[in-house]
Structure 1
């Protein structure tokens, strides 16, 4: 538990707390009293088999599918039921399992879209563009340029996003999320479809972004080698319930977690072994 204890140092205060969150869709209960807590600067893993409730929990946090019961607090503010655009404005950004970039637009323009939560239209600013609006535009551009430099996207900045490789598209999507200046970044399978080299690059950029921008990160990922390498703690969901939570390596070796991933393996009884012999 050394990794987990490091997070809970003096002055610890959770960035995100989900308390007994449940969500049903008709007769299907997708989440059953799930509780998690993410600390400042922590990379927290959320894993489980397909259909275990991971994305449903993320959608509850970000306001797309509010929980039926339970509470969600972000930096001490209750956000369960808050509309998605308001959740984003509070400082939560996310990427999606399937790349959700705007085709026909350049990488740069896609990243600039992440600044929309900081672009407040003002009538007077439109009238006096060179005094106010231009100043805002320069500030937004500066933020985007810093992110392009951080994620090493200079070579594709003017390329249409549909023309660049998948690994680079995922990096552009990460850049767009970072452009919103989040305090909590939610990454939904950021390495899906990547080869080993692309995964290694993405791991490095996630760690660099956490360090440079003082982020807390909720990571959903099927690549368990990545989860155990960079996550301080991991929660494991199965059939909508949390079945384990621990330091990453300990959680993934839990017998119930192993059974959830590969199925329960029955240990042969002595009598059966003798009979087989």
Structure 2
């Protein structure tokens, strides 16, 4: 059994009178692909937002590689080695694919007027190193043909791939993907699955993925956590957890409704 790289311990989050997360505990192990699934409004994105610092948990704690990160700001968590993509495409319109991917390097960039003054001997070296990393990710995700295109004119499937590339350029040890297949056709889904698996193997990542396409979940996830109404209702190997009676009931409304 691999060591836990991310651990959530009794995490709760409230929004006014809404109890979005109710004491959720789970762990993502080193090198695995961990699925986070459940009906709409079950608390999946809220849990990811707690992990990435957008909504700190009001109860419980979150640890990454043994260090507590709950309560830290998002940029701090990113610099600790966690990168994410978003449910809705969050690219910078008016910028090229290359420029958007390069934004993933921002956590390593330290603007310095002195470096700019001596650009040829100082800042240029740093810029070349950043671009070299970006080019490696472009090659990995096969984005060469659109690298100079503006992101708003390329298909959704490619836009999602650009988001993945931008996250990978932050050199994370844990990658969090929020519905990376949303809005895609079958061919685009197959491409995205392939690139996620390639990146996970090539870069040695642990992956936490929120996904509504259950065929994707059962085919690529080692284990899954199923949420419903802020509660954990199942956890374990993907196919086993998805066949749990409570999970079936949450998705299709129980035996009577299914009939």
TM-score of the aligned structures, taking structure 1 as reference length: 0.91
Report deviation, 1:127.
2.4
Look up the match of 2:220.
Answer: 230
1:169-204 Cα shifts (integer Å, max 9, x gaps): 000000000010001100000000000000000000
How many Å separate the matches in 1 of 2:133 and 2:23? 39
Q: Who is 1:242 aligned against? A: 232
* Aligned partner (choices 196, 203, 218) of residue 208 of structure 2: 218
What residue in structure 2 maps to residue 137 of structure 1?
Answer: 127
Residue 165 (1) aligns with residue 155 (2): yes
Q: How far, CA to CA, are the matches of 1:223 and 1:98 in structure 2? A: 16
Q: Which residue of 1 aligns with 2:191?
A: 201
Aligned residues, how many? Answer: 257
C-alpha displacement of 1:227:
0.3
What are the equivalent positions in structure 2 for 1:1-277 lying under 5 Å apart?
8=1, 12-266=2-256
- Offset at 1:139? 0.5
CA distance in 2, matches of 1:266, 1:129: 70
Cα distance in 2 between the residues matched to 1:175 and 1:13: 27
Structure with greater Cα Rg: 1
The alpha carbon displacement at 1:128 in A equals 1.8
How far has the Cα of 1:67 moved from its partner?
Answer: 0.2
CA distance in 2, matches of 1:24, 1:35: 16
Give the unaligned 5+ runs of structure 2: none
What is the alpha-carbon root mean square deviation over aligned residues? 1.0
For the residue of structure 1 that corresponds to 2:119, the secondary structure is coil
The runs of at least 4 consecutive aligned structure 1 residues that moved more than 4 Å come to none
* Distance in 1, Cα, partners of 2:76 & 2:230: 26
CA distance in structure 2 between the partners assigned to 1:126 and 1:106 by the alignment: 24
Q: What is the distance in 1 between the residues matched to 2:204 and 2:123?
A: 28
